[in-house]
Amino acid sequence: MINDYEETEELEPISDPNSYKPTGQQKNNNKIILLVVILIAAAAVVLGYFGIRHIQYRKKIEQAAAYQDAGKTDQAKQAYKEAAALQKRNAYPYTQLGEIYLDQGAYNQAIKYLKLANDREESSEAYTALGDAYTGKGDTQKAAAAYEKADKQTDTETNQDQKEKAGNSSANVEFSFNDGCISGSSVAKSGKWLFYSAYQGTYRTSGGKPEKIQDDSGYFLNAYKGWLYYECDYNDGGFCIERTRTDGSKTQTIYEDKNDSVGVYWMKVYNGKIYCLEADSDLGDNLKGGWLISMSLDGGHEKTVIDSDVYYNSVSIDQGRIYYIDTSSRQYVSTNLNGEDSENVLDFSDSAYDESSSMPRVVYTDQNHVFYWMDKSLHVLDLKTDKTIDIKQPENTVGYEQINHDENGKYYYLLSNDERGKTATYSEWRMDTDGSNYKKLYTFRSTKVPYQYAYGNKICVNYYLDGRERVDVIDANKGSSQNYIDLPLDD
């Protein structure tokens, strides 16, 4: 009992509870408790309110993007405006609205929203589009000022290592951590849709029957913000760059060169710009280089980024840097997106060239890793650690064709040539990124050289058999495959 330890004061019982009067200290404590309860409740209400608004904002953005993919621009604009009302400090919906109005030729509205976007957060994409809008109005002075800001902002974004906004480049095996197909020339991925440029035109499919969305077939297919960008060759010489809505509802020729002595050998959409490698149509000397240009998404604001000596089979863009082989110095070079701040990455000695043609081996950069062929072997250089590993050829194969990353950088996917012949045998392999633990995923036969593309944990294999062109999609985790494209091959 308490009395065993200390003296206590005996309290008088309270017969009437209503007659109880708290002390001043008790009153203060009660007030503090009540205030804390009110503050907690208010915080919960505020957090819940903003949490709900954030969810609503994300749904509106997704809805707007879906409308864009479907070519429903009026609905997309309304959804972006509703998203902007939910998060007034976010620049993204204003940029999207500006670009939609720009596509429609409503330059005043485009300028209005692009300025609002840059007021909230400056971006090279918004400044480039703003320059395009001023160009459309014929105000060259304001356009030049906007383009200059776009170039400066590009450097700032690169230095800040912002998340890259890239299309599905089809000329190199890059951006394989992104949700996009990344090699070859005829496949791109956006959302649920896989796009394929066949001999008879361009198709899209989500796994069911392919839907033809464009009669033209193109090269270097890029999917970017509701549009497909690609290059087409003219029958009488020259080329053009077109873009078409991902549902085929609208097609525009945004750039063309009718000089029959010039062709396009690489193209990529990156950070709101199109980068394009041009060279003489008849390369003749395998070491003869081309020139790299950039332009806005509507084909305007053309700019020469690198004026010569760019080897066509070596161009990549990674982490805000351009990589290519300089045909004069035989150096693998890196520059910023304006073609400045040049650095030598690799010295390609004579052993790096094919003895029969004096041609540099294919080389590209992806997520700070340089992949290159030398001495009949594939090597990977980690630019951060400066360490190189060798990728050995799988047993019972006669060569390897292409290599990709998986989405997490844990695996490489390798396409091997197992048996040569008029109808050759090929296999798809998965291995750890240290070059070990080969696992065969898929084997197929093709009458022409196939291509592989990676997006997420899936690999697209584009091949030709029995007079048909096909694309199978392999799930690397499940080890299963599904045919997406099966069309007659029109030679």
Would residue 50 be called left, alpha or beta, if left means φ above 0 and alpha means ψ between -120 and 50 degrees? alpha
Residues 385 and 403: their CA atoms lie apart, in Å, by 21
- CB-based contacts of 47, cutoff 8 Å, min separation 6: none
Residue with tokens 């701040």: 341
State the first-to-last Cα distance of the chain, in angstroms, to the nearest integer: 103
Q: What is the residue-averaged pLDDT of the chain?
A: 78
Of 323, 291, 322, nearest to 306 by C-alpha is 291
Q: How confident is the model at residue 350 (pLDDT cuts 50, 70, 90)?
A: low
In 81-137, beta strands by DSSP E: none
Q: In the predicted model, is pLDDT for residue 284 greater than 60?
A: no
- pLDDT at position 407, please? 63
Give the highest mean pLDDT range of 155-164, 176-185, 388-397: 388-397
Helix (H) or strand (E) holding 54: helix 24-69
Of 26-30, 92-96, 465-469, give the lowest mean pLDDT range. Answer: 26-30
Residue 317, classified by CB atoms within 10 Å of its CB into exposed (0-12), middle (13-18) or buried (19+), is: buried
Between 443 and 364, residue with greater pLDDT: 443
Q: Under 8 Å CB-to-CB from 84, ≥6 apart: which residues?
A: 90, 93, 94, 97
Q: What is the pLDDT of residues 422-433, one digit of tens each?
A: 899 999 998 888
> pTM score, two decimals?
0.67
CA torsion sign for 208, 209, 215, 217 is positive
Q: Which of 50-64, 93-107, 217-231, 398-412 has the highest mean pLDDT?
A: 93-107
Residue 197 Ramachandran class (φ > 0 left, ψ -120 to 50 alpha, else beta): beta
Q: Is the pLDDT of residue 362 over 70?
A: no
**pLDDT (tens digit per residue) in 220-243:** 888 887 788 999 888 888 899 999
Domain spans in the chain, listed from the N-terminal domain onward: 60-158
Beta strand ranges found along 208-300 (DSSP E)? 211-214, 219-224, 227-233, 239-245, 251-257, 262-270, 273-280, 290-296
Q: Is the pLDDT of residue 404 over 50?
A: yes
**CA 95/CA 123 separation, integer angstroms:** 9
Between residues 225 and 275, which one has the greater pLDDT?
275
Could you tell me the sign of the dihedral formed by the alpha carbons of 317, 319, 325, 326, in that order? Answer: positive
The pLDDT-based confidence of 367 (bands split at 50, 70, 90) is confident
Tokens of 487: 């069309």
The sign one gets for the Cα dihedral 14, 20, 25, 27 is: positive
What pLDDT shows up at residue 424? Answer: 92
The 10s digit of each residue's pLDDT in 308-333 is 999 877 888 888 899 998 888 888 99
Class of domain 60-158: mainly alpha
Residue 167 has pLDDT above 80, yes or no: no
Question: Percent of the chain beyond pLDDT 70?
Answer: 77
The pLDDT value given to residue 43:
55
| Residues counted in the chain | 491
Contacts of 355 (CB under 8 A, 6+ apart): none
Q: If we measure between CA atoms, which residue out of 183, 186, 194 comes closest to residue 403? A: 183
Amino acid at 344: N
Q: Flag whether pLDDT at 77 surpasses 80.
A: yes
The residues, any chain, with a CB within 8 Å of residue 130's CB and separated by 6 or more, are: 98, 110, 111, 114, 115, 118, 146, 150
Residue 4 backbone class (left: φ over 0; alpha: ψ -120 to 50; beta: rest): alpha
Q: Among 117-131, 172-186, 206-220, 240-254, where is mean pLDDT lowest?
A: 172-186
